[in-house]
Amino acid sequence: MSVEAREARQPWILLSPALGAVLFLLIIPLMFIVVYSFWLRSAMSADQVGFYLDNWQKALSDRFYRDILLNTLKIAAITTLICGLMGYPAAYFIARSKGNKMILLLLLMLPFWISYIIRTMSWINILGTSGALNTLLMTLGIIGEPMQMLYNEATVILGLVHFLLPFMVLNVYVSLEGIDTNLEDAATSLGATRWEAFTQVTLPLSLPGLAAGGLLCFVLGAGTYITPVILGGPTDAMFANLVFEAIITQLNWPLGSALSLLLLAVLGVLVAIYNRYLGMAQLAKGLG
Amino acid sequence: MSAVTLQDIVKRFGSFTAVHRTTLEIPEGAFVTLLGPSGCGKTTNLRMIAGLLDPSEGEILIGGKRVNDVPIHKRNLGLVFQNYALFPHKTVAENVAFGLKYRDVPKSEIPAKVQAALELVQLPNVGDRYPKELSGGQQQRIALARAIVIEPDVLLLDEPLSALDANLREDMRVELKRIQERIGVTTVFVTHDQSEALAMSDLIVVMSEGRVEQVGKPEEVYNTPASEFVANFLGASNITEAKCIEHGASVVVEDATFGRVTVPAAKAPNLTGQGPAKLVVRAEKLLLSKTQASEGVISVPATVETVDYQGQAVRYFVRAGEAQLQAINMIDERPFAAGDAVHLHLRPQDCAALPG
């Protein structure tokens, strides 16, 4: 074999385990889901194999599904906005701090050492009727009766922000780290105040990081299943809960498949828009 | 009047003193270089003038006014960095126009001013390009244009040529000096490169370990170093232990290698009287020859030990008695070879003397 042919083969040899995993664990199962979505659930017998559009028709036309999809996107959008507003200053602080940067980054990663479910459930101990906050307020005599703070949309968003904030901070941090601090000094020497230097130079240059963090928060937030189950009320179901309901509770695999592909398509469009304007390379930077 | 005055400036970082008590006058319109190795405090001084650092003690005056409490964006200074620090998301024209937005320049006049600045740095046609589309040298010209378009009171240059490669650096050196002379702006230039300092400066401030070692014109600091550090930092010098045996109208020092040397009094300004002294012989003033010297020139027999051939010049390490000396000579045909027996010629008036 020629040297060129050997060199051309090498990347594929190195990539093959990962490609194999993606193919057998993601692509092929996804193909099954696609196929399932065209089958038909029958109440009495086995699912009918074939090419039926009933599930898709239901998923796309039923108001119930549409409302929950829109609500899911709304919750994801609000969560992303809050993460951006809270995460940017934190990332800026870490990026500009001297010396203890590593400790701050470690603290940022610390929550990942605890299961996401445990972290989400911890809010019950804080906000529940006999939780820390109610106990404190009652001890201080500010309220007489425990307040019902849990199981609404706000607590779902709170739980999502708690979960997703580190992703935002990390992405913004990485983009801020890549900006030469001399740029702000140059801007101030030319007459800009510190704030003007930030808005004119640092902020625009860090937008790719903010967008990457935003995309991650949005996609992870819109696909969440656990948070509304633990912290949401009966009316706060998000789209992933519908998929769970259809497949696990109703054993309606064809409908569940169509619903999950619908969510995948909506989020896929968002990723495609992001990729069109900013490119996936920025996302890889933030994750790496 | 001085454009910039540092009055009893001290700068400490925690327990480390970066700049020891320093007083420095930078004359109006002059090109002043802060020269020294890394960590000597030159950049710290520059950043204090710029307002990027606050002095721990002392006062900074610009144009006669105390600016300690004036923030950087109100000091009206032009600042150029080693890594250019151009705004990558703005075009060249937007970069140059950046400072004008914060001044009382009518919007309609901005394009003309930007164009004039680009012409001054000889890049009139790159206004709508982005910095990354330009070479390093071009980017540094744009950074310079951005700094001078605001007509700063003082231009501060922090190692602006260090990121460029050797040939380009020498071209930019000439270019930078031309522009500075053209607009006549007071300039403070920070470098660790002695040849840049010697080529460009009206005044050189040699610094070491947070202290000013010498302030003088290039030929003064070069020919009459005020300390051993300056003698070693600017070019290569041979410094030998000597004794001053006559200190009057002329200064006579005696050392083991060259014997009695009559040094011009002007080249031994810090020598106060007889006693221990140091003789400074620049490497390029020590000439190797096959023959004895003529009258009035010191001649010492020596052996060539190492030959460092550099093309137009050659650096020899020679042994004369106990001493190993360095000599840099222009090449006349072929260099001497290691092992050759030679005579070292030295004119006494080329020597300098320092206190021992």
- Picking from A190, A194, A205, the nearest residue to B99 by CB comes out as A190
Residue from the list A186, A190, A205 with its beta carbon closest to the beta carbon of B102: A190
Contact B52 A185 (CB under 8 A): yes
Q: What is the pLDDT of residue A276?
A: 86
Question: In chain B, which residues have their Cβ closer than 8 Å to the Cβ of A190?
Answer: 73, 79, 98-99, 102, 146-147, 150
Q: In what order do the strands lie in the sheet with B65-66?
A: B16-27, B2-13, B57-62, B65-66
**Structure-token match 């009695």, residue found:** B260
For chain B, list the domains and their CATH numbers: 2-223 (3.40.50.300), 236-355 (2.40.50.140)
Q: Is B150 on the interface with A (CB under 8 A)?
A: yes
Check CB contact under 8 Å for A191 and B99. Answer: yes
Nearest CA in chain A to B156: A189
Q: Which of A182, A187, A192 sits opposite B83 (nearest CB)?
A: A182
Q: In the prediction, which pLDDT does A277 show? A: 83
Q: What is the pLDDT of residue A281?
A: 65
Contacts of B71 in chain A (CB under 8 A): 188, 193
pLDDT number for residue A2: 84
> Which residue of B lies nearest to A195 if distances are taken between CA atoms?
B73
In whole angstroms, how far apart are CA B124 and each of A52, A98, B96, B109? 67, 41, 12, 17
Contacts of B70 in chain A (CB under 8 A): none
How crowded is residue B220: how many other Cβ atoms within 10 Å of its Cβ?
16
| Chain B residues with beta carbon closer than 8 angstroms to that of A187 | 87, 98
Find the radius of gyration of the CA atoms of chain A.
24
The predicted structure's pLDDT at residue A286: 54
Q: Which residues of A touch B (CB under 8 A)?
A: 180, 182-183, 185-194, 196, 200-201, 204-205
Query: What does pLDDT average to over chain A?
Result: 91
Give the residues of chain B that fall short of pLDDT 50: none
Nearest CA-CA partner of B316 in B324, B304, B302: B304
Q: Are A189 and B50 a contacting pair at CB < 8 A? A: yes
> Which residues on B lie below 8 Å from A192 (Cβ)?
73, 98, 102
pLDDT of residue A75: 97
Running DSSP on this structure, what letter comes out for residue A25?
I
* H helix intervals, A46-130: 54-61, 63-96, 101-109, 116-127
Which chain B residue's Cα is nearest to A208? B89
Please give the pLDDT value at position B334: 79
Interchain CB contact of B61 with A (< 8 Å): no
SS (H, E, C) A108-129: HHHHHHCCHHHHHHHHHHHHCC
Residues in chain A where the model's pLDDT stays below 50: 288
Q: Note the pLDDT of residue A38.
A: 94
Is A190's CB within 8 Å of B150's CB?
yes
pLDDT, position A288 = 44
Chain A hits for B74, CB-CB cut-off 8 Å, are: 191
> Of the candidates B88, B102, B143, which has its C-beta nearest A191's C-beta?
B102
Using a CB-CB cut-off of 8 Å, the residues of chain B touching A193 are 71, 73
Residue B81 CA to chain centroid, in angstroms?
17
Q: If you search the block for the tokens 């221990």, which residue do you land on?
A: B276
Q: How close is the nearest chain B Cα to the Cα of A181, in Å? A: 9
Rounded Cα distance between B338 and B303, Å, is 8
Best interface-test mutation with A: which of B13, B48, B70, B72 has the largest number of A CBs within 10 A?
A: B72
Contact B87 A183 (CB under 8 A): yes
Contact assessment for residue B302 and residue B342, using Cβ atoms and an 8 Å cutoff: yes
What residue ranges define each of the domains in chain A, with the CATH number in brackets? 62-287 (1.10.3720.10)
Flag if A193 and B99 touch (Cβ within 8 Å): no
Select the residue from A179, A190, A210 to test the B interface by mutation, using most B Cβ atoms within 10 A: A190
Whether residues B102 and A192 touch (CB distance < 8 A) is answered with: yes
Residue of A183, A189, A195, A199 best to disrupt the B interface, most CBs of B under 10 A: A189
Cross-chain residue pair B79–A205, CB shorter than 8 Å: no
Which residue of chain A has the CA closest to B81? A182
Asked if the Cβ–Cβ distance from A188 to B72 is below 8 Å, we say yes
Spatial CA neighbour of A82 closest among A8, A165, A10? A165
Chain B residues in contact with A186 by the CB 8 A cut-off are 79, 81, 85, 87, 143, 146
CB pairs under 8 A between A and B: 63
**Are residues B11 and B55 in contact, defined by beta-carbon separation less than 8 angstroms?**
yes
Residue A37's Cβ-count burial label (10 Å; 0-12, 13-18, 19+) is buried
Nearest Cβ partner for B77 among A183, A187, A189: A189
Tokens of B161: 């040529």
Alpha helices by DSSP H, listed for A200-249, are: 203-222, 226-231, 239-244
Interatomic CA distance for residues B98 and A205, integer angstroms: 16
Write the residue in A183, A194, A204 that is nearest to B85 by C-beta.
A183
Angle between helices B110-120 and B166-183 (to 10 degrees): 130
CB B231 within 8 A of CB B280: yes
pLDDT value of position B310: 87
Using the beta-carbon criterion (under 8 Å), do B99 and A182 form an inter-chain contact? no
Q: Which residues are bridge partners to B207 per DSSP? A: B212
